[in-house]
A and B are shown apart, each in its own frame.
Chain A
Amino acid sequence: MKKALSLLMALCCLWACNVDYLGYIYTRSADVDTRFAQSMEYNAKAGFPSISVADDNYRVYIVTDIHTTEKETANLDRFVADYLADDTSAPFCINLGDIVNDKGQYGVFQSHTAPLANAGKQIFSTPGNHDIFFGEWDEWISLYHTSCYWFEVITPGRGKDLFLSLDSAGGTMGKAQAEWAEDFLNGVKGKYRHITVFTHTHFWKRDNSQDATGNYSLEETYALASLFSRAGVEVVLAGHDHATETTLFKGVRYETLESLKMHDISPGYNIFGYGQDIKRTFVPVE
């Protein structure tokens, strides 16, 4: 009887946790190849944004792993307020995924970031595992239209910077997306001052901060590291780990960034200064 009750209690606890255990076996959202195909279909129609900045030096606010829920928006609100208060040149921000914690939270995120949109500050997002985990890909595509895309920033004196989002929400970029990225990056090599790739899943595991998070398979890690190096990518931005880690490998700088999730170990966001170099500043929020 005791055993049966213990088992029942354990099952209740598992049920109460907001985890879709089937997600360990298969994804309820579209597979990476489908997401890539849908993104390319949208890109072909929409083209890519080109943002002009007033100065050769400009700032990019970068935020990741917010895990928005109805009850946990204080850090997001702080980020939005800080960003709005910045009167320097910072025309857009980048979100590295895990925007929401679970299904039905995109509306919460949209409403709390509406002041940014109203102020003309654009958010470029790449999906994280939590953003598709509960079958939310349909929501993503209706809100953001694409997960693999690029945009460029035109500076007055020194030319252009390229930003490329690659979809790694499922722990793999897939062959089609990687091959497209290789062709695309080879085609633009030498044409930009800085090339920045941003994606959700981080590449390296140099500490044990990421205990329960998965990465790419090793063969995919090495193939992508080689691709970024050959294509002249300068910085690869990623989240997922909720902790900071900077790694230089084959001439490419990999920045894994702190989360903005409430009550995390060290929540905050980053401001990257783009100029002659790319400099990172972390801003803690708790």
Chain B
Amino acid sequence: MKLKLLITLVAGLLGAFSLLAQGTGEVALLGVGGQNRTWGGFGGGALQASIPVTKRLTIQTGWQGLSSGTVTGLLQVQPFFPLKKGELFIDASAYYGGFYKNGIGEVLAAAGAGWRTAHFSAQLGLSVRWIFGGADTVMEPIDPYYRIAGTLKKPGSQWNISAGISNFTRYQVERAMQPIFFIEGRYRIGRKFSLVGELNIKPAGMFHLTATWYGFSAGLGVVYTFSL
């Protein structure tokens, strides 16, 4: 009886989704590698998707596994609204980080807003983090997150490149005083496929006034674009 109810509910939701869903979505598979002062060299992979729910709402999700014994994931809901120039977007996200070699896990909830045009985007929000280790939990207070990026070409171009500064990537939200510099690139190789690459550089001690190299991570993969 319960199973029937569950199947009906899931089918109903899928049906409603298929009627409502419209827009362009993406699925991406990336190989990831990097080096830092804690893990040394590391590698892994990531599977991520951006799903249009309505014309003005997307859901993003992604999971990344690394040889450092780390599994991280994201679920993000992002409604967006056109403005006279560019568009306003709101994001509500939940992150999970499992640092299995360390026996430590973290969960993070975040909400914010941003503005983007073809060549510029800025995003600001607040996050709260819980860190779990054995029987102990540390709750960190509300902390800002931010992202400022510039993009060279218009959306839909054969290739494009963005660069900027942020304190988060798709798979990690750092504390506000730990910036990450990034470059992202994209090259269309067919009607539905593109190559994507990203490079994230993390310094240590920037707000110690003794900045030094900490590490980098890089990803390279393929994106499949679909329409609903």
Q: Is the CB of A24 within 8 A of B206?
A: yes
Q: Is the CB of B208 within 8 A of A170?
A: yes
Give the residue of B103, B174, B204 whose beta carbon is less than 8 angstroms from that of A171: B204
* Residues A1-53 near B (CB distance < 8 A): 19-20, 23-27, 29, 31-32
Spot the interface stretch: B3-11, B31-39, B79-87: B31-39
Give the residue of B101, B202, B204 whose beta carbon is less than 8 angstroms from that of A226: B101
**Nearest CB to that of A172 among chain B residues?**
B204
Which residues on the B side are within 8 Å of A247 (C-beta)? 138
Q: How far is the CA of A27 from the CA of B70 in the complex (A)?
A: 30
Which residues on the B side are within 8 Å of A170 (C-beta)? 204-205, 208, 210-212
Which residues on the B side are within 8 Å of A85 (C-beta)? none
Q: Is the CB of A225 within 8 A of B212?
A: no
Which residues on the A side are within 8 Å of B140 (C-beta)? 204-206
* Interface assignment of B139: CB less than 8 Å from any CB of chain A: yes
Which residues on the B side are within 8 Å of A174 (C-beta)? 37
Q: What is the minimal beta-carbon distance from A180 to any residue of chain B, in angstroms?
A: 13
Give the residue of B37, B134, B139 whose beta carbon is less than 8 angstroms from that of A206: B139
* Residues A194-214 near B (CB distance < 8 A): 201, 204-208, 212-214
Q: How far is the CA of A193 from the CA of B139 in the complex (A)?
A: 30
B interface size (C-beta, 8 A): 41
Which residues on the B side are within 8 Å of A204 (C-beta)? 138, 140
Q: Is the CB of B36 within 8 A of A129?
A: no
**Nearest CB to that of A127 among chain B residues?**
B210
Which residues on the A side are within 8 Å of B141 (C-beta)? 205-208
Known contacts: A247-B138, A248-B136. The answer to whether A129 contacts B101 by CB under 8 A is no
* Interface assignment of A119: CB less than 8 Å from any CB of chain B: no
Q: Mark A243-267, 1 if CB is under 8 A from B, else 0.
A: 0000111110000000000000000
Which residues on the B side are within 8 Å of A173 (C-beta)? 37
* Residues B108-152 near A (CB distance < 8 A): 131, 133-134, 136, 138-141, 143
* Interface assignment of B40: CB less than 8 Å from any CB of chain A: yes
* Interface assignment of A219: CB less than 8 Å from any CB of chain B: yes
Main secondary structure of the interface of A (DSSP, over half): loop
Give the residue of B36, B39, B134, B207 whose beta carbon is less than 8 angstroms from that of A213: B207
**Nearest CB to that of B133 among chain A residues?**
A250
* Residues B183-228 near A (CB distance < 8 A): 202, 204-215
**Nearest CB to that of B172 among chain A residues?**
A218
Which residues on the A side are within 8 Å of B134 (C-beta)? 229, 250-251
Which residues on the A side are within 8 Å of B214 (C-beta)? 171-172, 217
Q: How far is the CA of A216 from the CA of B102 in the complex (A)?
A: 16
**Nearest CB to that of A175 among chain B residues?**
B37
* Interface assignment of A149: CB less than 8 Å from any CB of chain B: no
* Interface assignment of A133: CB less than 8 Å from any CB of chain B: yes
Q: Is the CB of A27 within 8 A of B210?
A: yes
Q: Is the CB of B211 within 8 A of A23?
A: yes
Q: Is the CB of B205 within 8 A of A172?
A: yes
Q: Is the CB of B210 within 8 A of A132?
A: yes
* Interface assignment of B50: CB less than 8 Å from any CB of chain A: no
**Nearest CB to that of B215 among chain A residues?**
A217
Q: How far is the CA of A32 from the CA of B210 in the complex (A)?
A: 10
* Interface assignment of A80: CB less than 8 Å from any CB of chain B: no
Q: What is the minimal beta-carbon distance from A227 to any residue of chain B, in angstroms?
A: 8
Q: How far is the CA of A97 from the CA of B213 in the complex (A)?
A: 21
Give the residue of A169, A205, A217 whose beta carbon is less than 8 angstroms from that of B208: A169
Q: How far is the CA of A47 from the CA of B207 in the complex (A)?
A: 34
Q: Is the CB of B210 within 8 A of A171?
A: yes
Give the residue of A130, A201, A217, A222 whose beta carbon is less than 8 angstroms from that of B102: A222
Q: Is the CB of B38 within 8 A of A20?
A: no
Q: How far is the CA of A215 from the CA of B206 in the complex (A)?
A: 10
Q: How far is the CA of A250 from the CA of B105 in the complex (A)?
A: 12
Q: Is the CB of A225 within 8 A of B177?
A: no
Known contacts: A19-B209, A129-B209. The answer to whether A205 contacts B99 by CB under 8 A is no
* Interface assignment of B54: CB less than 8 Å from any CB of chain A: no
* Interface assignment of B93: CB less than 8 Å from any CB of chain A: no
* Interface assignment of B71: CB less than 8 Å from any CB of chain A: no
* Interface assignment of B175: CB less than 8 Å from any CB of chain A: yes
Interface residues of B (CB under 8 A from A): 36-40, 68, 70, 97, 99, 101-104, 106, 131, 133-134, 136, 138-141, 143, 172, 174-175, 177-178, 202, 204-215
Interface residues of A (CB under 8 A from B): 19-20, 23-27, 29, 31-32, 129-130, 132-133, 169-175, 178, 201, 204-208, 212-220, 222-223, 225-226, 229, 247-251
In the complex, 8 of the A-B residue pairs with CB atoms within 8 angstroms, ordered by the A residue number, are A20-B209, A23-B209, A24-B207, A31-B213, A132-B210, A172-B214, A217-B36, A226-B133
Other 14 A-B pairs with CB < 8 A, given A27-B210, A129-B205, A219-B39 = A27-B205, A133-B209, A171-B214, A201-B208, A213-B208, A214-B175, A214-B177, A217-B202, A218-B97, A222-B104, A223-B39, A229-B103, A229-B133, A251-B136
